[in-house]
């Protein structure tokens, strides 16, 4: 649904113009029908998994519809919505993993860490878009006319600091805090490596591409995941 509405503006973007709907490869009417079918199917499955998970899914769908139709053009609210989407997905993952014989803890520091990390990604995304599109930035995304490099740089600095601090405090809340803190260096490297890519390589408008294309960042994420396995499953 987002790509259908954004198709005219996506055609002004050097990369997004290749999206199926913007490029004309996919019929917008067919895409709209499939969006409704998949949305209903997803909510139905979420209800069967857990009522709490269904509420999170419904909230996410409703928020994304509001974002697509209106909120994406509201200054700062657009980045906050992106962040809230990450939070809802992270919390939903914890909820759906819970079972009668298995309780998965949801700590405040985990949620705060996701909040600032997702805001960091959102601000980096806006900064790279503003830099790459230059005079056409507001034509592609109306809200970009409200952002400035100075504001985004301050936001990125605040969020990067808060992400690292929140992760460190999340680590100390773990039953084995000293073991969990051994994963912190990977987070430090990952955050600073990503900032390096944003400021020197000007990547970050698509975080998933930055992750897949940068071997150092990908290696860091893999090592971080392996270190978490050693912390949570020491007897593995």
Average pLDDT over residues 229-233: 85
Q: How far apart are CA 73 and CA 193, in angstroms?
A: 30
Q: Which phi and psi angles does 99 have, rounded to 5°?
A: -140, 165
* Orientation angle between helical segments 51-69 and 77-97, nearest 10 degrees: 160
Q: How far apart are CA 118 and CA 85, in angstroms?
A: 9
Residue 193 pLDDT: 95
Taking the CB of residue 104, how many other CB atoms lie within 10 A of it?
Answer: 11
Q: How far apart are CA 115 and CA 165, in angstroms?
A: 12
Average pLDDT over residues 31-37: 93
What Å distances lie between residue 116 and 57, 74, 130, 185, 232, CA to CA? 21, 20, 21, 18, 24
| For residue 55, pLDDT beyond 70 | yes
Residue 106 pLDDT: 83
Of the listed ranges 50-54, 78-82, 98-102, 146-150, the least confidently predicted one is 98-102
Q: How far apart are CA 25 and CA 96, in angstroms?
A: 36
Q: How far apart are CA 213 and CA 197, in angstroms?
A: 11
Residue 207 pLDDT: 83
Query: Is 10 or 69 the better-scoring residue by pLDDT?
Result: 69
Residues facing residue 99 across a β-bridge: 102
Residue 200 is inside which H or E element, if any? none
- Residue 231, Ramachandran bin (φ over 0: left; ψ between -120 and 50: alpha; else beta): alpha
pLDDT band per the 50, 70, 90 thresholds, residue 39: very high
Helices (H) and strands (E) in the chain, counts: 12, 0
Q: How far apart are CA 16 and CA 6, in angstroms?
A: 10
Residue 136 pLDDT: 64
Buried b (16+ CB within 10 A) or exposed e, 173-192: ebeeeeebeebbebbebbbe
Q: How far apart are CA 101 and CA 127, in angstroms?
A: 45
Highest-confidence segment of 10-14, 78-82, 173-177: 78-82
Residue 221 pLDDT: 95
Which of 208, 180, 177 has its CA nearest to residue 194? 208
Predicted TM-score (pTM) of the model is 0.85
């Amino acid at each position: 649904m987002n790509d259908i509405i954004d198709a005219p503006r996506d055609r002004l973007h050097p990369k997004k113009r290749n999206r199926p709907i913007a490029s004309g490869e996919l019929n917008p009417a067919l895409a709209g029908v499939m969006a409704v079918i998949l949305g209903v199917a997803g909510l139905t499955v979420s209800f069967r998994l857990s009522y709490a998970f269904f509420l999170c899914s419904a909230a996410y769908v409703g928020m994304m519809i509001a974002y697509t139709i209106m909120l994406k053009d509201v200054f700062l609210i657009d980045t906050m919505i992106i962040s809230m989407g990450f939070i809802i997905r992270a919390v939903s993952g914890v909820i759906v993993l819970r079972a009668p014989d298995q309780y998965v803890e949801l700590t405040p520091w985990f949620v705060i860490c996701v909040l600032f990390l997702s805001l960091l990604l959102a601000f980096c995304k806006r900064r790279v878009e503003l830099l790459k599109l230059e005079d056409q930035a507001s034509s592609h995304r109306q809200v970009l006319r409200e952002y400035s490099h100075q504001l985004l740089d301050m936001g990125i600095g605040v969020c990067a600091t808060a992400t690292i601090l929140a992760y460190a405090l999340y680590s100390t809340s773990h039953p084995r805090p000293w073991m969990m803190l051994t994963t912190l260096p990977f987070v430090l490297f990952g955050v600073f490596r990503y900032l390096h890519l944003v400021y020197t390589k000007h990547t970050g408008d698509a975080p998933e591409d930055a992750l897949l294309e940068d071997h150092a960042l990908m290696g860091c994420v893999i090592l971080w995941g392996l270190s978490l396995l050693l912390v949570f499953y020491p007897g593995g």
